Amino acid sequence: MPLLTEHPAQTSAAPPGEIAWRVAPFAVYMVFTAIAEVSTLLGLPFSGAWTGTLYPVRAVCVAVALAVCLPRCPELMPKDMTGRGILLASMVGVAVFAAWLALDVPWGRVGTPVAFPHRAWGDDARPLLLAIRFLGAAVLVPLAEELFWRSFLMRHIQGGDFRTVPLSRFHPLSFIAVTVLFGLEHHLLVAGMLAGAAYNMVALRTGSLGCCVLAHAVTNALLGLWVLYAGAWELW
């Protein structure tokens, strides 16, 4: 991986539109997350059912945002994913899943996670709600988050036009900042930071955003299967 000593030529900042393509899907996702969190914190009597209904709406909005933004993000190209990169990403995804379960301990949490209201639509529609929740976690979230955290922020912190910065370039401040902020996005703070560092390493080792998405997707898919198997709804 290129080291910090290999400074890229300083260029002007990227046009706002280029930033927006990579931030918008994540921003849409976080707006709905904030609504759900505030509803729960305020103890609103409808918060459980509201969260269950809100997630499909969020999934549709994020999917629309991704459909608009992804064609403008050439760094997400399957051709950049080598066999070794795919293998590494898959292994990292499995390892992060295992670590996530192991680090679900009191000292590793921030706040109290709220169990996903999987019966909010009643028993008849429950399979549909769970399918939407699973696909959202395994497909939409990895795409939206990797576009923001790895494609944009990890390179933007290094200065200049982030599009000119190789994804494989190591920058200490960038690495640490994204690791910590990614962790703060999750109730399982320690597990979240470990996951952020692991996905950062996939970016540095492979230089492929697609491999980052794959690692993230493997983790979330396995976590979703575990939630469905064990009924660990608080992990969703």
What is the three-state SS of 37-86? HHHHHCCCCCHHHHHHHHHHHHHHHHHHHHHHHHHHCCCCCHHHCCHHHH
* Structure token pair of residue 47: 């918060």
pLDDT of residue 44: 66
* Structure token pair of residue 74: 């050439």
Q: Is 29 left (phi over 0), alpha (psi -120 to 50) or beta?
A: alpha
Q: For residue 230, give Cα distances in angstroms to 101, 115, 227, 234.
A: 12, 13, 5, 11
Element (H, E) at 145: helix 141-146
pLDDT digit string (tens) for 192-206? 999 999 999 999 999
Q: Which residues lie closer than 8 Å to 57 by C-beta, 6 or more apart? A: 32
3-state DSSP assignment of residue 171: coil
pLDDT of residue 125: 87
pLDDT of residue 2: 53
3-state DSSP assignment of residue 160: coil
Q: What angle do CA 175, 208, 210 make, to 5 degrees?
A: 110
Q: Is the per-residue pLDDT at 109 higher than 60?
A: yes
pLDDT of residue 120: 76
* Structure token pair of residue 31: 């707006």
User: Global pTM?
Assistant: 0.90
Do the Cβ atoms of 23 and 152 come closer than 8 Å?
Answer: yes
pLDDT of residue 210: 97
CA distance 216 to 210: 10
pLDDT category at 3 given cuts 50, 70, 90 is: low
Q: Is the per-residue pLDDT at 89 higher than 60?
A: yes
pLDDT digit string (tens) for 116-135? 888 878 888 899 999 999 99
CA distance 154 to 170: 9
Element (H, E) at 87: helix 83-102
Q: Is the dihedral of CA 31, 32, 37, 42 positive or negative?
A: positive
Q: Is the per-residue pLDDT at 5 higher than 50?
A: no
Average pLDDT of the segment spanning 184-190:
94
Average pLDDT, the chain: 90
The 10 Å Cβ neighbour count of residue 111 is 11
